[in-house]
């Protein structure tokens, strides 16, 4: 499949989202939509069904609901809605986004335990098991699947087995992995999965979504700690009014997402998209290592979504100059987010193909030559 990326774009976004999209995704945003009209709301309903079908074969057990704002808005809508007043949340945090879930819970006044671990290490499964065994007040457990702080892919299957074995509710932030990594949330025991329009499904920013186990979600009426982020009420409004949102919806973004879902199907579904992302990742890592760049994570912990690299040992290296040089050649990368180490990150997702990665590696070589000979 050839890239459809608009050649008029000044650069390719090699980030964990927002990311480079196709011409056809952007073009559908040129039409205006009425939020009350059935033509638009039928699209919303189709999106909701397609999301559930992407998430599991047991579609009768799950539903989906869309929520305005960035992915963090959807995370907060889940944390603020599904945990009862007497509930308690365990957050497994080995990066900035796990810590953000804990910050949300703390801000909302939710009883909280945080199992924080090194950003470069996979979560300690025995520690999770012991914590749940020791603290019977814990009702919900939350973890980030792809922790884009580092590119870590957390073991949601093994964590899920522990969580469900202890009869707790399982929340997975799959913001940067859903649509790009195959999964079946019923098999994984996930009760609430959270993601965003502008990640692996390759839409544009404007809303997130939650795929929820109906049996659990039905218990959440009148639990929300926010009016606008009341996920249960949003769900009920969409269920009872043919996809109607409670407040003004991001119509152009929704239409773009619908097109992006169609293009995901055209590509061959999540399986083929994951294969493309994994090819991008392998080529990126192999090429960067040829120039002496070292990956932050061990290969077995690395996702195909985004890769963190240490700064090179060259004392003259400065990230900002490196960034500007790559940008001038048509590539935008990401600064590092690890607490104590000098790193930068390169994303592999979006409308990015093998030839794009090869061109990036050539640009890196030229930029490093410039660094050493300036």
Residue 372's pLDDT band, with cuts at 50, 70 and 90, is low
Domains of the chain from N-terminus onward: 12-20+269-373 (3.90.1150.10), 32-265 (3.40.640.10)
Is the pLDDT reported for residue 116 higher than 80?
yes
Q: What residues contact residue 128 under an 8 Å CB cut-off, 6+ apart?
A: 90, 92, 115, 141, 159, 162, 163
- Residue 95: pLDDT band (50, 70, 90) is very high
- Per residue in 155-182, pLDDT (tens digit) is 999 999 999 999 999 999 999 999 999 9
Mean pLDDT of 328-347: 90
Are the C-beta atoms of 374 and 366 separated by less than 8 Å? no
Judge whether 143 and 168 are in contact, CB under 8 Å: no
Specify the pLDDT at position 352.
96
CA distance 134 to 156: 21
> Quick one: average pLDDT of 113-124?
95
d(CA 160, CA 189): 6
For residues 332-353, give the mean pLDDT: 91
């Amino acid at each position: 499949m050839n890239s459809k990326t608009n050649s008029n774009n000044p650069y390719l976004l090699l980030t964990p989202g927002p990311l480079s999209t196709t011409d056809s995704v952007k073009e559908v945003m040129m039409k205006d939509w009425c939020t009350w009209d059935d033509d638009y709301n039928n699209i919303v309903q189709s999106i909701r069904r397609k999301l559930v079908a992407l998430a599991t074969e047991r579609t009768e057990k799950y539903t989906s609901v869309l929520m305005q704002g960035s992915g963090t808005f959807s995370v907060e809508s889940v944390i603020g809605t599904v945990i009862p007043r007497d509930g308690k949340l365990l957050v497994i945090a080995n990066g900035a986004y796990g810590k953000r879930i804990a910050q949300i819970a703390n801000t909302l006044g939710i009883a909280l335990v945080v199992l924080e671990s090194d950003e470069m290490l996979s979560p300690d499964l025995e520690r999770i098991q012991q914590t749940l065994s020791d603290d019977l007040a814990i009702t919900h457990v939350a973890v980030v699947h792809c922790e884009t702080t580092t590119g870590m892919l957390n073991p949601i299957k093994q964590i899920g087995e522990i969580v469900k074995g202890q009869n707790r509710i399982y929340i997975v932030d799959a913001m940067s992995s859903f649509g790009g990594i195959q999964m079946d949330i019923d098999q994984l025991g996930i009760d609430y999965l959270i993601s965003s329009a502008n990640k692996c499904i390759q839409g544009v920013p404007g809303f997130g979504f939650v795929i929820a186990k109906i049996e659990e979600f039905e218990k959440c009426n009148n639990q929300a700690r926010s009016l606008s982020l009341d996920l249960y009420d949003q769900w009920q409004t969409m269920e009872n009014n043919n996809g109607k949102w409670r407040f003004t919806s991001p119509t152009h973004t929704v239409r773009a997402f619908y097109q992006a879902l169609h293009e995901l199907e055209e590509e061959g579904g999540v399986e083929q998209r994951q294969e493309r992302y994994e090819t991008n990742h392998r080529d990126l890592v192999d090429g960067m290592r040829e120039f002496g760049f070292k990956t932050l994570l061990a290969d077995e912990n690395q996702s195909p979504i985004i890769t963190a690299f240490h700064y090179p040992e060259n004392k003259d290296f400065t990230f900002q100059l490196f960034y500007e040089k790559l940008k001038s050649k048509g590539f935008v990368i990401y600064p590092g987010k690890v607490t104590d180490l000098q790193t930068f990150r390169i994303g592999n997702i979006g409308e990015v193909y093998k030839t794009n990665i090869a061109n990036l590696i050539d640009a890196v070589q030229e930029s490093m030559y410039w660094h050493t000979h300036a």
